[in-house]
Structures are given as structure tokens and as C-alpha cells.
């Protein structure tokens, strides 16, 4: 019985230590490279940067399926005019061809991961139209992603056009 109690305490202590290490790593208090926590964050960062690239390429190609996969059903965006847009409105504009990107050059992208939520901040220079009018220029933007059922999706976005 003593042996089983000792083994139980050893397992419980190990689980506590791993959980604490993960919590400390998230706070940046430890060298996480040793236990692999940092590599998980790096993998998420790379995934989200690729999703940003895919999202931009999808808007150029009018690839509704990819945009639909990236945006959560409850996604809300604030466009460069300060107007709120939904996923359905965004997809309808993409389908109609009235608005869209002809080219996009992504700038620096920063990803901050907070468990199952991540904030992506970036910039781009684009050739684009909005409701048939030229909207080309330089933009900064923020996208919020949430991991649900094992996959990342954008739930909120905001874009600002930079004055020349």
C-alpha cells in the first residue's frame, strides 16, 4: 500500500510540475525550449502567418471556400471606413466581384498567442477595389483567431488605411 501511495504521489507531483512549467512558460518565466512549450507557440505562429497569406491569396483568387474556412461563422470585421461587416457580407462582396484585392504584399506580421486565442498584427500594401472604387494603399490590421475543435479561425478583424 505504501508503494502505491508513493507512486500516486509521484505521478500527481509530476503532473503538477508539468502544469506549472506550462503556466510559467506562458508567462515567460522559464527557458521553455527545454520542455518544448516554446516550439508549440512557434508552430502556432507559423500556422497563423500561413493562414494570413492564404486569406490574402484567396481574396485575390476570389476563392470563397478558403475565406469561408478561415473566417468563423461569428466573425466580425471593422473595415478601413470604420464600418462593421459580417462573414456573410464579406463573402457576398467577394462573390460579386464588386470588392476585392488584385495584389497584396504582406509586411511584417506579429503573432501573440494566449492559449486558444491569438492576436495577429500586420500590414500590407495592396491594389484593391471597394464597391467598384479604388481602395489601393497601405494598411495596418489586427486579426483575432480562436482555436475551436482543434482548428484556428478568425473571429474578429480591424483594418486601417494609412494616409499617404
All residues at 6 or more sequence positions from 89 whose CB lies less than 8 Å from its CB, including other chains:
none
Write the pLDDT tens digit of every residue in 8-66.
433 444 334 334 444 444 444 444 444 455 668 899 999 999 999 999 999 999 999 99
Asked whether the beta carbons of 30 and 22 are under 8 A apart, the reply is no
In this prediction, residue 9 carries a pLDDT of 37
- Check residue 98 and give its pLDDT: 85
Question: The cell 512549450 sits on which residue?
Answer: 37
Q: Within 10 A of 150 (CB to CB), how many other CB atoms are there?
A: 6
The runs of H, that is alpha helices, within the chain are 2-27, 37-61, 64-70, 87-96
Domains in the chain: boundaries: 1-32, 36-162
Over the stretch 92-133, which tens digit does the pLDDT of each residue have?
Answer: 999 998 888 999 999 999 999 999 999 999 999 999 999 889
- Whether 1 shows a pLDDT value over 70: the answer reads no
Mean pLDDT in residue range 80-101: 93
Among the listed residues 107, 72, 104, the one whose alpha carbon sits nearest the alpha carbon of residue 88: 72
CATH annotation of 36-162: 3.10.450.50
**Amino acid 132: pLDDT:** 87
Q: How confident is the model at residue 7 (pLDDT cuts 50, 70, 90)?
A: very low
Amino acid at each position: 500500500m505504501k508503494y502505491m501511495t508513493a507512486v500516486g504521489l509521484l505521478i500527481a507531483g509530476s503532473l503538477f510540475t508539468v502544469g506549472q512549467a506550462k503556466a510559467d512558460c506562458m508567462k515567460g518565466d522559464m527557458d521553455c525550449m527545454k520542455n518544448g512549450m516554446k516550439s508549440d507557440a512557434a508552430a502556432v505562429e507559423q500556422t497563423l502567418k500561413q493562414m494570413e497569406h492564404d486569406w490574402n491569396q484567396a481574396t485575390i483568387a476570389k476563392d470563397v471556400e478558403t475565406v469561408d474556412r478561415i473566417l468563423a461563422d461569428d466573425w466580425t470585421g471593422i473595415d478601413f471606413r470604420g464600418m462593421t461587416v459580417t462573414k456573410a457580407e464579406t463573402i457576398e462582396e467577394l462573390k460579386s466581384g464588386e470588392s476585392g484585392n488584385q495584389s497584396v504584399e504582406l509586411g511584417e506580421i506579429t503573432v501573440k498567442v494566449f492559449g486558444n486565442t491569438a492576436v495577429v498584427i500586420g500590414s500590407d500594401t495592396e491594389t484593391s477595389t471597394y464597391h467598384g472604387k479604388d481602395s489601393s494603399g497601405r494598411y495596418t490590421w489586427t486579426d483575432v483567431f480562436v482555436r475551436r475543435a482543434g482548428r484556428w479561425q478568425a473571429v474578429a478583424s480591424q483594418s486601417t488605411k494609412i494616409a499617404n
